[in-house]
Amino acid sequence: MLRTFSVVLALLLLSLPARAAEEWGIDHEKKARIEAKVVDILCELSGDCPKNCGGGKRQLGLLRDDGKLVLAIKNFDPFAGAVVDLIDFCNRRITADGLYIANPKLPMFVLQFKRLAPDGKWSRANWFVKRWAEAHGAKNKGKWFRHDPAITRAIAEDGVFGIPGLKPPKDD
């Protein structure tokens, strides 16, 4: 009896999805798991197709089997997009797990987990901060945006609001 229970429990655990998206409370969001080809969006729209989907310098998307192109806009890292998480999968089929934002004006996908389709190993969509820290020799990865030279330079030049001379109100 115990052996049968153990076998049934093991089968149930193995059949459960390995990853599942977390809701973020975004208007029009739906948890979604899709299989799609990772593509360079500009390539798909214009035919301008450099090698390796632009080498991480272009916006990437997910081309579904029904021909719909979905913009992959975000990953788990704060203030980071999904390109770093997807570039290694350029022109390959993946299973993407995350949130589909079904806004009629601009549908998009928030990538939370990914794997090679159909049954590769799942990985969390948080590669941006890891790779940023490696490139900058940073130890504090949590608030990378406070230590990024390009961001600190832009704030010094244009202010925190991006408008030279515009300053936040002073606390009285």
pLDDT in tens, 2-35: 554 343 334 333 334 455 777 777 788 899 999 9
Picking from 90, 21, 99, 95, the residue whose alpha carbon sits closest to that of residue 60 is 90
Q: Is the pTM of this model over 0.85?
A: no
Percent of the chain with pLDDT over 70: 86
Q: What are the structural domain ranges in the chain?
A: 17-126, 137-167
The Cα 8–Cα 60 span in angstroms is: 41
Picking from 131, 117, 114, 119, the residue whose alpha carbon sits closest to that of residue 60 is 114
